[in-house]
Amino acid sequence: MSTPTLSLPAPPAVSSEWALFLDVDGTLLDFADVPGDVAVDPGLIDVLAVLHGRLDGALALVSGRRLAQLDELFAPLKLPAVGLHGLERREDGHQERHPRPVALDQAVAWGRALAQRYPGARVEDKGTTIALHWRAAPDAEDLLRQYADSILIELPGYHLQHGNMVVELRPDGAHKGSAVVDLLAHPPFHGRRPVFVGDDLTDEHAFQAVCSHAGFGVLVGSRQPSAARYALHDPAAVRAWLEEGLDLA
């Protein structure tokens, strides 16, 4: 596969003055057909642990995954983190979670019955949200999108969030941008220049949030339009950039 040319310049070296917010899938980690199949290199965990110290704690993971999954992936590291695109949050050991509506049980059951027609299609129950994945079954896209549209009627206060070969049903309100703004209101993030690194449409809220707080976004890949100011090619380039930052911070 040829590497696309990036329309944005490479970011400056990581600074110890920053508050660094990192998306996980497609940013730190390469995508897998099944979200549970991703692997984390122990070397990356070491890099994140050292960076967390150099930034005086101002390093957070901001993901669509649940916090419990993030902790499992990056064990033994337990960083400040935002899960489910802002619905779960942990800072200073204090954890918050959004409640689950009863109608989600039926929505998951119906979705799974439909997805069975397409081997590889997946309905992921994330507790408060449902993600419909077709990365391993591209033919299922139309059906899963239609299903997502139809089930919204059963879920007042929910909306669709479109991502990379996935659509997610999630409650209104919280998103990655609002989560980053909340974190920036408190130490160790407060008063630092916020930098968000992410690949997906769902990261655009966060790019806009850091821009409005004198920071900037770093896009992973070449997707446009984007509110990010800089870009890196892929997760391997992000990992190399973070590692280089250890020498310069």
204 binds Mg ion (CB under 5 A): no
User: Taking CB positions, which residue lies at the least distance from Mg ion?
Assistant: 26
How far, rounded to the nearest angstrom, does the alpha carbon of residue 43 sit from its chain's CA centroid?
20
- Which of 129, 228, 122 minimizes the C-alpha distance to 173? 129
Which of these segments, 92-100, 121-129, 187-195, 197-205, binds Mg ion (CB under 5 A)? 197-205
Which of these segments, 65-73, 130-138, 140-148, 200-208, binds Mg ion (CB under 5 A)? 200-208
Nearer to Mg ion, 128 or 202 (CB): 202
In this chain, which of 88, 124, 168, 200 binds Mg ion, going by CB under 5 A?
Answer: 200
199 binds Mg ion (CB under 5 A): yes
Any catalytic annotation for residue 23?
yes
DSSP states of the chain: -PPPPPSSPPPPPP-TTEEEEE--BTTTB---SSGGG----HHHHHHHHHHHHHTTT-EEEE-SS-HHHHHHHTTT----EEEGGGTEEEETTEEEE----THHHHHHHHHHHHHTTSTT-EEEE-SS-EEEE-TT-GGGHHHHHHHHHHHGGGSTTEEEEEETTEEEEEESS--HHHHHHHHHTSTTTTTSEEEEEE-SGGGHHHHHHHHTTT-EEEEES--SS-S-SEEESSHHHHHHHHHHHHHH-
Nearer to Mg ion, 31 or 110 (CB): 31
Give min distance, CB of 203 to Mg ion, in A.
Answer: 6
Nearer to Mg ion, 26 or 245 (CB): 26
Give min distance, CB of 199 to Mg ion, in A.
Answer: 4
88 binds Mg ion (CB under 5 A): no
Nearer to Mg ion, 37 or 247 (CB): 37
26 binds Mg ion (CB under 5 A): yes
In this chain, which of 25, 91, 124, 168 binds Mg ion, going by CB under 5 A?
Answer: 25
Give min distance, CB of 70 to Mg ion, in A.
Answer: 13
Interacting residues toward Mg ion by CB under 5 A = 23, 25-26, 199-200
Catalytic residue numbers, as ranges? 23
